[in-house]
Amino acid sequence: MFEKILIANRGEIACRIIRSCRAHGIATVAVYSEADAGSLHTEMADEAVCIGPPPARDSYLMIDRILEACRRTGAQAVHPGYGFLAENALFAEALEEAGIVFIGPPPGAMRAMGDKIESKRLAEQAGVGIVPGHPDAVRSLGEALHVARDIGYPVMIKAAAGGGGKGMRIAHDDAELEEGLVRAQSEAASSFGDERVFLEKFIARPRHIEIQVLGDRHGNIVHLGERECSIQRRHQKVVEEAPSPFIDAATRAAMGEQAVRLARTVGYHSAGTVEFIVDQQRNFYFLEMNTRLQVEHPVTELITGRDLVWDMIRIAAGEPLGFSQEEVAFSGWAIEARIYAEDPARGFLPSSGRLVWYREPEGDGLRIDSGVFEGGEVPIYYDPMIAKLCAHGGHRDEAADRLASALDAFVVRGPAHNIPFLRAIVDHPIFREGRLSTDFVAEAYGERFHGRDLPEDVRRMLAATAALMAYREAERACRISGRLPGPDPRPERCWAVELAGRPYDAEIEEDGGPARVRIDEETMTLELAWRPGRHLAQARIAGVVRNIQVDPASEGYLLTHGGAEMRALMRSHRAAELAARMPEKELPDTSGLVTAPMPGLIVSVAVVPGQEVKAGQELLVLEAMKMENVLRAERDGVVEEIHVRPADAVAADQLLVTLG
């Protein structure tokens, strides 16, 4: 067994690998860019080596610098995690030549499966079903149009190298194909150094289901069941679970057999994932094979009891699997939610900045894989993942309930994040019923998420909670020391609560035990665990405990619960009466100001001053966190002024274009 392993990655996956190594007494080496100096993975590792400037191409993708770090520290093996060099055959070969073990599959298998065009040929030869499409990379727009019309719209444009949703677009007609081809080729070249793309038929309402395989160097290969990864946004997975609520035992066995057969065909060892597209009749087609550990591997670990990182290390050291397919057993259900620094209200554009508050939830069946800490930074240079929150239960509903409660209690302040969006998904009827497809997010939420509506009983509970919090704050203020002589003040017991525009009349009774709160004509007994200044409150009503996040706001609170953010205005009856007489303030019209939703680099500008534009028309392209984001006009107008040029670096909220 290795004595020292270098982790050629960053963030949560680097921390995850370090934890497994630490559990088995293996020393670890972290590598980091200048942007990651002082990050969590560098603090956790036994040693840390700086390998370059912030951009990944100058640090985490520099093979020679990682080799030098191995030589300096005496690392005997390298675990690549996922992303960066994880599926780079040249990296694996360079390590082998240097006498360092690559903890992953053989380079030949990576080459065969890393090229999506070649992998489809091999899958077909191995008897694995594939999606109808064009077998070669398209060389021009004219050829792409010909192929798309031949296959029939809609078609999927996909990068031949890489994955993770980058270099991938859906086209429903010639115009979308033309724009999508340019964006896909540009993202593919930027992310993988290979701009080749190919086309295949887009299957309507598909499920994305993958099989986890594990093979050793002695020819033993097994599968560890499936993961349901159909909840995606722009081809990026959002929520994953194991097992799938759709797959039956016969389909699982057939998919597993094909996945193992493909892995055997390419001489695979280590952990890998064979991804399938599954239609509504459970017909499944090979999509691609990821020759690495997957982001969503924890859900498989939770239902199988295995440590896939440790299995990869054992296999790389030459040990046999030690178990057979018949010995693979599943227990319960696991669901993972990916928490990202992104702004759902701005079309899920990436966010960055300092984590001013960061508190992970606790509870039965929870697992959190994270690579951040309170006070740390989410940099602009890399994938904006904050953490992966996983919940395990005896059955799917229990896992979903645990995940929902944990999301309500996950406190993140600083960068914008997607926790309310994830929380809304977990409560959505389609999710709860397991009727999923890769179209779910687009159909349920569109391109933006502005929160969800809550049932009236939950709103009343929030109104009662806000009233009790206001009473507690008033009560504390009445006890302040150093008051002038006079009658003892009494806290306000009656409140006019306005919750997201809906008025409620509240009255508090509290005499040492649980408070009694009257909301309009209903009285409820409420136990509240909260102190002023805390971001998290726990409210218990009729035996049900709810986690509510609290932020101060003018004349009240901003409450977050169940995927909804609601402003609670708290006033005495007299103050509410006077406020009703105040004139409404008109908000300025800012629809003509196009600003940068995040820091980034201007890739291109598609308009000129004086040009008329329509709502939805492309204005410019902003690259941030390895993704190209098209910024469009919010309304019809005329371009008055363009404030940036291609290659300009811009800050968040910087003015880019003015429309008249």
The mean pLDDT value for 165-192 works out to 87
CA R_g for the chain: 27
- Chain CA centroid to CA 167, Å: 18
Q: Where are the alpha helices (DSSP H) in 282-414?
A: 297-304, 308-316, 396-409
The mean pLDDT value for 156-165 works out to 78
Residue 630 included in any domain: yes
Nearest C-alpha neighbor of 557 from the set 585, 580, 587, 535 = 535
Residue 539 included in any domain: yes
Grade residue 35 by pLDDT with cuts at 50, 70 and 90. Answer: very high
Pairing of strands 411-413, 77-79: unpaired
Residue span of the structural domain in which 645 resides: 593-659
Of 579, 603, 638, the residue at which a domain comes to its end is 579
pLDDT at 489 over 90: no
For residues 284 and 370, membership in a common domain is answered with no
Residue 317 included in any domain: yes
For residues 116 and 245, membership in a common domain is answered with yes
For residues 268 and 379, membership in a common domain is answered with no
Task: Point out the catalytic residue in the list 226, 241, 288, 301.
Answer: 288
For residues 283 and 151, membership in a common domain is answered with no
pLDDT at 625 over 70: no
CB 539 within 8 A of CB 526: yes
CATH of the domain at 91: 3.40.50.20
The pLDDT of residue 380: 84
For residues 470 and 425, membership in a common domain is answered with no
- Return the SS3 of 487: coil
* Helices 308-316, 11-23: inter-axial angle, 10-degree rounding: 70
The mean pLDDT value for 382-403 works out to 97
The pLDDT of residue 168: 86
Report the alpha-carbon distance of residue 567 to residue 458 in Å, rounded.
14
CB 436 within 8 A of CB 231: yes
Across the strands, what pairs with 540?
527, 545
CATH of the domain at 564: 3.30.700.30
For residues 364 and 261, membership in a common domain is answered with no
pLDDT above 90 covers what percent of the chain?
76
Pairing of strands 47-52, 77-79: unpaired
Number of H helices, E strands in the chain: 17, 38
What H or E segment, with its residue span, contains residue 240?
A: strand 236-242
The pLDDT of residue 163: 65
The mean pLDDT value for 131-145 works out to 86
Q: What is the mean pLDDT of the chain?
A: 93
The pLDDT of residue 2: 98
For residues 390 and 532, membership in a common domain is answered with no
Retrieve residue 632's tokens. Answer: 């469009």
The pLDDT of residue 377: 92
What is the per-residue pLDDT across 320-363, written as a single tens digit (0 to 9) for each? Answer: 999 999 999 999 999 999 999 999 998 888 888 899 999 999 99
Grade residue 50 by pLDDT with cuts at 50, 70 and 90. Answer: very high
Sheet holding 612-613, edge to edge: 593-595, 655-659, 637-642, 612-613
Residue 483 included in any domain: no
Residue 43 included in any domain: yes
What is the per-residue pLDDT across 57-103, written as a single tens digit (0 to 9) for each? Answer: 999 999 999 999 999 999 999 999 999 999 999 999 999 999 999 99
Grade residue 164 by pLDDT with cuts at 50, 70 and 90. Answer: low
Report the alpha-carbon distance of residue 405 to residue 646 in Å, rounded.
45
- Return the SS3 of 461: helix
What H or E segment, with its residue span, contains residue 68?
A: helix 63-73
What is the per-residue pLDDT across 532-582, written as a single tens digit (0 to 9) for each? Answer: 999 999 999 999 999 999 999 999 999 999 999 999 999 999 999 998 899
The pLDDT of residue 653: 86
Q: What backbone torsions phi and psi does residue 8 show, to the nearest 5 degrees?
A: -90, 60
Grade residue 626 by pLDDT with cuts at 50, 70 and 90. Answer: low
CATH of the domain at 387: 3.30.470.20
CB-based burial label for 458 (10 Å; 0-12, 13-18, 19+): middle
Residue 584 included in any domain: no
Report the alpha-carbon distance of residue 296 to residue 282 in Å, rounded.
22
Of 301, 331, 361, the residue at which a domain comes to its end is 331
Q: Which of 15-24, 311-320, 348-357, 531-540 has the lowest mean pLDDT?
A: 348-357
pLDDT at 226 over 70: yes
CATH of the domain at 164: 3.30.1490.20
The pLDDT of residue 496: 96
For residues 282 and 354, membership in a common domain is answered with no
For residues 122 and 243, membership in a common domain is answered with yes
What is the per-residue pLDDT across 353-367, written as a single tens digit (0 to 9) for each? Answer: 899 999 999 999 999
Query: Residue 288 catalytic?
Result: yes
Domain count, the chain: 6
Is the N-terminal amide bond of 588 cis, ω within 30° of 0? no
Of 282, 313, 331, the residue at which a domain comes to its end is 331
For residues 318 and 260, membership in a common domain is answered with yes
What is the per-residue pLDDT across 275-308, written as a single tens digit (0 to 9) for each? Answer: 999 988 899 999 999 999 999 999 999 999 999 9
Residue 448 included in any domain: no
Query: Any idea what DSSP says for residue 184?
Result: H
For residues 461 and 564, membership in a common domain is answered with yes
Residue 585 included in any domain: no
For residues 599 and 538, membership in a common domain is answered with no
- Chain CA centroid to CA 152, Å: 32
